[in-house]
Each structure stands twice: as structure tokens, then as C-alpha cells.
């Protein structure tokens, strides 16, 4: 377990449909390159002797099994779209192991969505085997999890407020097409930055590739990574050749030691 360092593992780097997309016969979805196979976006962060997860989408169970992760201390939720919360039912395994609710850090608005989506976990009857959650409210203020300071980064997903997160020199922002000036100020001096881009063509609620590259150039981290990619982005290896050397495409299984 890491203390002074931060280890980031990309459990998934795909958009809401993942890649390959069900029933799609496009060349990207038929690719045999493992970097073109993308589960829904999520990252595992190990630091200060604990393991944190950003987002638990519908692939959460398989992602944890594939990574070999056997510990999870808390989950940070960017927003309550299903590709970011649908796997929360599977925290039951950790409830059983640790015999306590899973700590989940999420905005007050998105807590309402979680309570609706997983209403059976919040009912009056404590049915055996139900998942148990301890919901902590995220605001714009930094908060602390067992000695790790986390700075919420408020951005817009069209008109929807979404939170990214900064931990030390690492920042992670997904599902956005606008980062306000106040959040850009919070990113000053960040060395490792992850931002999402769904495709090359413009999109109504996500950055496209050009916009994400421009954002990373403006923030100017040492290394930038692009995640939340759809099959419309193209082949991983070909797209990477188009990028500046300090900007790379994320892929499932990518590990960073920061």
C-alpha cells in the first residue's frame, strides 16, 4: 500500500456504451487491440495506505475482479448518470468483509438519485444482503478521507453540475464540456491531469478531442490523459499519433505511479 506516492489504475476508459458497443460492426468495435476495448470510465487510487474509487458504473464488479483489487475504503461519485453509479449494488462484498457501510462521497443532488436508484437499500426493512451506504455530502470545499485531502472540481456537463477531483498533483475530470475559471484556478500547478473527450466531432455535452487537447495545453500538466472515449474516437494507436507527446489516451489497465 502506497503512502507518499499515488498509484492510479484506470479500471475503465470508455463512454456510457463502452467499446465494443453492443451489436456494432464498426472497425473499432471489431478491433483485436486490447487498448480499443473499453469498460465504463473509472479509476482506482491508492495513497496514504488506503484505496479510493472514482465512480462505480455498471462494469464495477468485473473491473474489481479484473484488477485483483481486494480492498476499497471509499467511493467518490462525479455525478449520478448510470454509467457512473450503476455498480453501487456490488459494494455488498465490501460491506460483508468490513462489516460496515461503504463510505460514498457525492453531492446532495446526486444523493437523491442514488436513493431513488437503490431505493431497496434505504427502506425501513433491513433485508439481509442489501448493500449499505454511508453517504457523505460533497460541496465545493476540500474534504479529508483518513488523511488524504481531496479537492472537488466543479464543472458542467452541458447544464448539469459534475464534480471532478484533485488529490495532490493528480486531477481527474470526466463528462464535461465546460470548466469554469474558478475550477481552472484550482488546477494551477497540477502535474498529472485526466480529462474526458468522447469523439473527434463536436458534442453537445462532452469535449471532443480537439477541445480536450486545448484544455490540457492551457492547464499545462507534465502529462495529460484523455478518457471516456467512444468507438467514434477511432483506433487507440492511430489517435495517439495525432497527439502532442505530453498528451496520451488512457486505456483500461493503465497504471500510473505519481
Is pTM beyond 0.85? Reply is yes
Q: How far is CA 113 from each of CA 119, 152, 185, rounded to the nearest angstrom?
A: 9, 19, 30
- Residue 243 falls inside a structural domain: yes
- Residue 120 falls inside a structural domain: yes
- Residue 1 falls inside a structural domain: no
Strand partners for 43: 10, 54
pLDDT at residue 3 tops 80: no
- Residue 111 falls inside a structural domain: yes
pLDDT at residue 2 tops 80: no
Q: What is the pLDDT of residue 121?
A: 96
- Residue 213 falls inside a structural domain: yes
Domain extent for 171? 7-257
Percent of the chain with pLDDT over 90: 96
> In this predicted model, what pLDDT tens digit does every residue of 146-180 receive, in sequence order?
999 999 999 999 999 999 999 999 999 999 999 99
- Residue 186 falls inside a structural domain: yes
> In this predicted model, what pLDDT tens digit does every residue of 83-93 receive, in sequence order?
999 999 999 99
> In this predicted model, what pLDDT tens digit does every residue of 56-79 receive, in sequence order?
999 999 999 999 999 999 999 999
CA distance 248 to 224: 6
Q: What is the pLDDT of residue 4?
A: 73
Q: What is the pLDDT of residue 1?
A: 52
How many domains is the chain partitioned into structurally? 1
CA distance 59 to 80: 15
Q: Grid coordinates in use for 119?
A: 431505493
CA distance 99 to 132: 10
- Domain with 146 in it: what CATH number? 3.60.15.10
> In this predicted model, what pLDDT tens digit does every residue of 20-37 receive, in sequence order?
999 999 999 999 999 999
Amino acid at each position: 500500500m502506497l503512502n507518499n506516492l499515488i498509484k492510479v489504475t484506470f479500471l475503465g476508459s470508455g463512454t456510457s456504451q463502452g467499446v465494443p458497443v453492443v451489436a456494432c460492426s464498426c472497425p473499432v468495435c471489431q478491433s483485436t487491440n486490447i487498448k480499443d476495448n473499453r469498460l465504463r470510465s473509472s479509476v482506482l487510487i491508492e495513497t496514504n495506505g488506503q484505496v479510493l474509487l472514482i465512480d462505480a458504473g455498471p462494469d464495477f464488479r468485473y473491473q474489481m475482479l479484473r484488477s485483483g483489487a481486494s480492498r476499497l475504503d471509499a467511493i467518490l461519485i462525479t455525478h449520478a448518470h448510470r454509467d457512473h453509479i450503476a455498480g453501487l449494488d456490488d459494494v455488498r462484498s465490501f460491506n460483508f468483509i468490513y462489516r460496515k457501510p461503504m463510505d460514498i462521497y457525492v453531492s446532495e443532488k446526486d444523493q437523491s438519485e442514488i436513493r431513488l436508484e437503490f431505493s431497496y437499500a434505504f427502506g425501513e426493512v433491513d433485508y439481509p444482503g442489501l448493500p449499505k451506504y454511508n453517504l457523505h455530502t460533497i460541496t465545493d470545499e476540500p474534504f479529508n478521507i483518513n488523511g488524504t485531502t481531496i479537492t472537488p472540481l466543479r464543472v458542467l456537463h452541458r447544464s448539469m453540475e459534475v464534480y471532478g477531483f484533485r488529490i495532490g498533483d493528480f486531477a481527474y475530470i470526466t463528462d464535461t464540456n465546460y470548466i469554469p475559471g474558478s475550477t481552472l484556478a484550482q488546477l494551477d500547478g497540477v502535474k498529472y491531469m485526466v480529462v474526458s473527450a468522447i469523439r473527434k466531432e463536436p458534442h453537445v455535452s462532452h469535449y471532443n478531442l480537439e477541445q480536450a487537447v486545448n484544455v490540457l495545453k492551457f492547464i499545462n500538466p507534465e502529462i495529460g490523459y484523455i478518457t471516456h472515449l467512444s468507438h467514434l474516437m477511432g483506433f487507440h494507436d492511430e489517435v495517439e499519433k495525432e497527439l502532442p507527446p505530453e498528451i496520451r489516451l488512457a486505456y483500461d489497465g493503465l497504471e500510473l505511479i505519481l
